[in-house]
Every structure is written in structure tokens, then in C-alpha cells.
Amino acid sequence: MLGSMCNHDLSDGFSSIIVFAVWQAAKLENAQYAISMARKIGARVYALPDDIVEVKSKMVMTVFACLMIRDLQRQSQLLDPQ
């Protein structure tokens, strides 16, 4: 039980909160990077970074579907250059 605000057990709680916040920020940055790289190669990505971080399965599936479509388009261009 917490007797006062000088309790040393509080330091673990605060550090856990800070680590969680940093971890969430890193996940968001990674999701932003993944989407920007997908768009850079020409994939039409409709998902937002938050959708990926929150692991919204349908939106994650659309990202993979867009990447697969882009890959198929690239393969067809390589096989049939005009």
C-alpha cells in the first residue's frame, strides 16, 4: 500500500509509463515509415499508421493487398514491356 508520495516503489511505475510511451512512439514511427515506403514504390495504401499500430486486421490486410497488387503490376511490366 502507498503510504506517501516518497515511496520508492513509485519509481518503477513511472519508469514503466515512460518506457510504454517511448515504445508506442517507436511503433507509430515504424508504421509511418512502412506506409511511406509502400507509397514510394507506388502502392496505393489507404491505411493510417494508427491502424497498423492498433493492429486493425482489415486495414493491415489492405496494406498487404496493395503491396501484392503493386508486385503483380511490376511483374507484368517486366514480362510485357511496351
In this prediction, residue 35 carries a pLDDT of 96
Long-range contacts of 54-61 (CB under 8 A, 24+ apart): none
In this prediction, residue 4 carries a pLDDT of 55
Structure confidence by residue, pLDDT tens digits, 21-77:
888 899 999 999 999 999 999 999 999 999 999 999 999 999 999 999 999 999 988
pTM: 0.73
In this prediction, residue 20 carries a pLDDT of 82
